[in-house]
């Protein structure tokens, strides 16, 4: 199964693709889609969409795992992230991918064992779990890979539960 993980953002959107075959995990690619701060929001969203479509077309993932925005004190930031999330869902759905959404605490829990793990811990765990020679190039790319890893764990757990019921 090839999974596209996405960490939404309107200035910097992280993406990461992994292959999961049984217990084997293989890193495919990760990176960021960056937009200038002064670019109007409609142009940023259009650019993010076109970049995601190009990534999906080139790497042919089977599904997309997208981090849901976390809303703490700043509702405006959460709403802005929601726009990037919606664009990621739209690009993925238009490409025919199944779309899964996960909250940050669940992603962190699956990847690092603790739902409030720090960014540096997530980066270390992603690097270890994917057997990378060096950490991902940005925290956003690491978060996207963590989202993809979370989805793989969710699928494995669901499979184990359904196998136990048989």
Active site (catalytic) residues: 7, 67, 140
CA distance 77 to 147: 20
Find the Cα–Cα–Cα–Cα dihedral 142, 116, 128, 85, rounded to 10°. Answer: -30
| β-pairing verdict for 2-7 and 63-67 | parallel
Which strand ranges, in their side-by-side order, compose the sheet holding 12-21? Answer: 24-34, 12-21, 2-7, 63-67, 98-102
Find the Cα–Cα–Cα–Cα dihedral 19, 22, 25, 28, rounded to 10°. Answer: -10
């Amino acid at each position: 199964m090839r999974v596209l993980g996405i960490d939404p953002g309107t200035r910097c959107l992280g993406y990461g693709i992994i292959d999961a075959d049984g217990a084997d995990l293989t890193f495919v690619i990760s990176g960021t889609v960056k937009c200038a701060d002064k670019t109007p929001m409609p142009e940023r969203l259009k650019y993010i969409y076109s970049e995601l479509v190009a990534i999906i077309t080139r790497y042919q993932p089977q599904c997309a795992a997208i981090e849901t925005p976390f809303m703490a004190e700043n509702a405006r930031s959460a709403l802005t992230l929601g726009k990037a999330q919606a664009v990621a869902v739209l690009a993925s759905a238009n490409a025919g991918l199944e779309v899964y959404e996960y909250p940050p605490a669940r992603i962190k829990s699956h990847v690092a064992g603790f739902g409030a793990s720090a960014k540096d811990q997530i980066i270390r765990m992603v690097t270890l779990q994917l057997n990378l020679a060096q950490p991902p190039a940005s925290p956003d790319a690491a978060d996207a890979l963590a989202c993809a890893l979370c989805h793989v764990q969710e699928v494995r757990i669901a499979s184990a539960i359904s196998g136990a019921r048989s």
